[in-house]
Amino acid sequence: MSSTTLSEAYRDHPLSLHHVIPLDFNTIPTVPDSHLWPPSDDDFPSDDRLSIPVVDLMDPDAVKLIGDACETWGVFHLTGHGIPLSLLEHVEVEGRQLFSLPAEQKLKALRSPGGATGYGVAQISPFFPKYMWHEGFTIMGSPLEQAIQLWPDDHKRFCDVMDDYQKQMKMLAEKVISLIMRSLEIHEEMIRIWPEPAGTALQLNSYPSCPDPNRVMGLAPHTDSLLLTILHQSATTTGLQIFKEEVGWVLVYPIHGALVVNVGDLLHILSNARFPSVLHRAIVSQSKHRLSVAYFYGPPPDFNVTPLVKCLNSDQMTGFLSVTVKEYISIKAKNLEKALSLIRI
Ligand SMILES: C=C1C[C@]23C[C@H]1CC[C@H]2[C@@]12CCC[C@@](C)(C(=O)O1)[C@H]2[C@@H]3C(=O)O
Ligand SMILES: O=C(O)CCC(=O)C(=O)O
Ligand SMILES: [Fe+2]
């Protein structure tokens, strides 16, 4: 089997907006027209007391709790995950340090036209008529190449923290996926259905404070493409919202030390649509700079994704065409939210 890396898979689909660079948010006194979003009609306030489930990984019932959370919400808070609090703090400190660099310094690590990694606007930006109040930094594997540009003599700590974080997140993602598989009654020996190396990415998201937060968008509504996303959101301010049918946008309040896990498109496919790939977005604050760190986990790019036999209905009908991860990335890069419906049977 030929082995494509995830960054190669993304490199095949360069952003048509690669020349667009994030604003210098620190110096801008008012929101420019390019960043003013029209009010949307699904913005009615939803029930404030509603919140996503919390699952403790150490709970003896974790398999059932995670399975239920994936089925009813597609997203949950995860506690008892074993990731040291100090590592979560370090990744946030390093992220804040990166985004607080002067704009011209950050541009030295600008994502290149054909590249998938580095500093820049969100990859989904070309699909929206307005720009987001957001800057991102994408890492696939080692961040060394970009970190050297940012800090020629002082990049070791940043790289070490990002490497350590990705290692720990990979183990956690695999643990969570094995529990999800068990919730689908897939036996231990059948759980590892794809080979190494997994396709993974780490995204640092920065949402500067905004003079007019209600008229901008932090990160536009989207679903994540891979199997599973594990998100650490800074506890200093809220921002993440998920869309729940018949309810509307539900705020995901940060729980100190907990991580947010959400189902992505590939897990929606594997589960034959039993688990929803949850639509989510980020809003911004007037006074606080918000940071989030998202880890994306999926099978290797050449792996064929097709609904698990255990998830087929009694008539054995599969709901999706079989696609490789790479093919799905390509369909998504061209069609964004229509991607899943294009492969539905
Ligand atoms: C492995 C991934 C997953 C990516 C693309 C690539 C690297 C960056 C990820 C994000 C991060 C921000 C939201 C998103 C929607 C985006 O625009 O870039 C994500 C996207 C996806 O889940 O599709
Ligand atoms: O900042 C957040 O809370 C959401 C980030 C996100 O959805 C992503 O990186 O895919
Ligand atoms: Fe996301």
Q: Which atom of ligand 2 is nearest to the CA of 240?
A: 3
Q: Whose CA is nearest to atom 3 of ligand 2?
A: 240
Number of domains comprising the chain: 1
Confidence band, pLDDT 50/70/90 cuts, at residue 245: confident
Specify if 130 maps to a domain. yes
Which residue among 6, 13, 124, 268 is best mutated to probe the pocket of ligand 1, counting the most ligand atoms within 8 A of its Cβ? 124
Does any ligand 2 atom lie closer than 6 A to the CB of residue 203?
Answer: yes
Confidence band, pLDDT 50/70/90 cuts, at residue 192: confident
Q: Which atom of ligand 2 is nearest to the CA of 294?
A: 9
Mean predicted lDDT score pLDDT of the chain: 92
Confidence band, pLDDT 50/70/90 cuts, at residue 10: confident
Residue 46 has pLDDT above 90, yes or no: no
Specify if 316 maps to a domain. yes
Does any ligand 2 atom lie closer than 6 A to the CB of residue 201?
Answer: no
Specify if 175 maps to a domain. yes
Confidence band, pLDDT 50/70/90 cuts, at residue 188: low
CA of 88 to the centre of ligand 3 (A): 18
Pocket of ligand 1 (CB under 6 A): 10, 122-124, 138, 201, 203, 222, 224-226, 294, 296
Residue 313 has pLDDT above 90, yes or no: no
CA of 241 to the centre of ligand 2 (A): 9
Q: Is the Cβ–Cβ distance between 132 and 122 less than 8 Å? A: yes
**Domain range enclosing 300:** 6-342
Active-site pick, 96, 111, 274, 290: 290
Q: Count of residues for the chain?
A: 345
ipTM over 0.95: yes
Q: Whose CA is nearest to atom 11 of ligand 1?
A: 203
pLDDT digits (tens, 9 = 90+) for 64-122: 999 999 999 999 999 999 999 999 999 999 999 999 999 999 999 999 877 899 999 99
Specify if 326 maps to a domain. yes
What percent of the chain shows pLDDT beyond 90?
78
Q: Whose CA is nearest to atom 13 of ligand 1?
A: 122
Q: Whose CA is nearest to atom 9 of ligand 2?
A: 294
Give the strand pairing for 75-79 and 54-56: parallel
Q: Whose CA is nearest to atom 6 of ligand 2?
A: 294
Which residues line ion ligand 3, judged by CB < 5 Å? 224
- Say which CATH number the domain at 244 has: 2.60.120.330
Which residue among 229, 267, 296 is best mutated to probe the pocket of ligand 1, counting the most ligand atoms within 8 A of its Cβ? 296
- pLDDT of the residue at 109: 96
Residue among 277, 290, 205 at smallest CA distance from 242: 277
- pLDDT of the residue at 341: 94
The secondary structure of 154-217, three-state, reads CCHHHHHHHHHHHHHHHHHHHHHHHHHHHHCCCCHHHCCCCCCCCEEEEEEEEECCCCCHHHCC
- Of residues 316 and 253, the one with the higher pLDDT is 253
Q: Tell me whether residue 215 is one of the annotated catalytic residues.
A: no
Residue 286 has pLDDT above 70, yes or no: yes
Packing angle, helices 156-183 and 85-99, rounded to 10: 130
Does any ligand 2 atom lie closer than 6 A to the CB of residue 294?
Answer: yes
CA of 237 to the centre of ligand 2 (A): 14
- pLDDT of the residue at 232: 98
How much is the average pLDDT of 244-259? 93
Specify if 184 maps to a domain. yes
Strands (E), the chain: 54-56, 75-79, 118-120, 135-139, 199-207, 219-222, 228-233, 240-244, 248-251, 259-263, 280-282, 290-298, 304-305, 323-324
Q: Is the pTM of this model over 0.90?
A: yes
End-to-end Cα, the chain, rounded Å? 27
Confidence band, pLDDT 50/70/90 cuts, at residue 14: low
Distance of CA 47 to the CA centre of its chain: 25
Specify if 1 maps to a domain. no
Specify if 67 maps to a domain. yes
How much is the average pLDDT of 178-187? 91
Q: Tell me the residue type at 24.
A: D
Does any ligand 2 atom lie closer than 6 A to the CB of residue 226?
Answer: no
